[in-house]
Amino acid sequence: AAVDARAGALLSATLASTPEGQPRVGIIMGSDSDLPTMRAAAEALEGLGVSAEVTVVSAHRTPDRMLAYARAAHTRGIQVIIAGAGGAAHLPGMVAALTPLPVVGVPVVPAGAQLGGVDALLSIVQMPRGVPVATVAIGNAANAGLLAARILAASDAALQERVLAHQARMEAEVLAKAERLES
C-alpha cells in the first residue's frame, strides 16, 4: 500500500485530468523505480482520454500479488494490461500466462543497469507460442500507451477518432518542422 501511495503521488499531476470511472487499462511495473519510464504510458493514455490505473506488481518480490492482479483484472473491467519491468523482466510474460487480456510489455532500463535494457527486452519478447506479449522498444512506454489505446479503439469509434486526430497532429508537427528547416 505504501508503494502504491508513492506511485500514486508521483503520478497525481499526470493523472489529474484522467477521465473518471472504471479504468480500462491497467499499468503495472516491477518496482516504483520503473515509474519515471512508465509514466509515459499513463500520459499517452490520458492524452487520448483513456482511463487507467497505475500500480506496482513484482513477479519476483510479490508473486502472490501478481497472481491475484492478473487473475482478477478482466473481472474488474480492465481491458488491456501494460506491464513494465527491467532486468530479468518476467512480469509481462507471467501476467500474460494468467490473464485472457492483451498484454503490452515495456522493457525498462533500471538505474545503474549493466546491459542497457537488452536483458529486459529479450526477457519480454521471447515468449513461447500460445502466450503472446506485444513488446515495445526499450524504454518506450509511450508506445505501450498508444498501442493499448489502439486495441481499445478497434471497438470504440470515438476513441478511434481521437487516435486519428493524434496521428494528424504528429504529422502536422513534423511537416511544420520540415518547413522551418527548408526555409
Q: Which residues bind ligand RP5 (CB under 6 A)?
A: 29-31, 33-34, 58, 85-87, 108, 110
- Closer to ligand RP5 by Cβ: residue 2 or 16: 2
Q: Are 135 and 85 in contact (CB under 8 A)?
A: no
Count CB-CB contacts under 10 A for residue 175.
Answer: 10
- Closer to ligand RP5 by Cβ: residue 68 or 115: 115
- Closest contact distance (angstroms) between CB of 172 and ligand RP5 is 35
- Closest contact distance (angstroms) between CB of 132 and ligand RP5 is 20
- Closest contact distance (angstroms) between CB of 32 and ligand RP5 is 7
Rounded Cα distance between 152 and 163, Å, is 10
Q: Are 57 and 69 in contact (CB under 8 A)?
A: yes
- Closest contact distance (angstroms) between CB of 7 and ligand RP5 is 12
DSSP state of 137: -
- Closest contact distance (angstroms) between CB of 93 and ligand RP5 is 13
- Closer to ligand RP5 by Cβ: residue 81 or 149: 81
- Closer to ligand RP5 by Cβ: residue 3 or 97: 3
- Closer to ligand RP5 by Cβ: residue 86 or 145: 86
- Picking from 26, 130, 9, the residue whose alpha carbon sits closest to that of residue 68 is 26
Cα–Cα distances in angstroms (integers) from residue 63 to residues 13, 81, 92, 176, 183, in the given order: 30, 17, 13, 48, 57
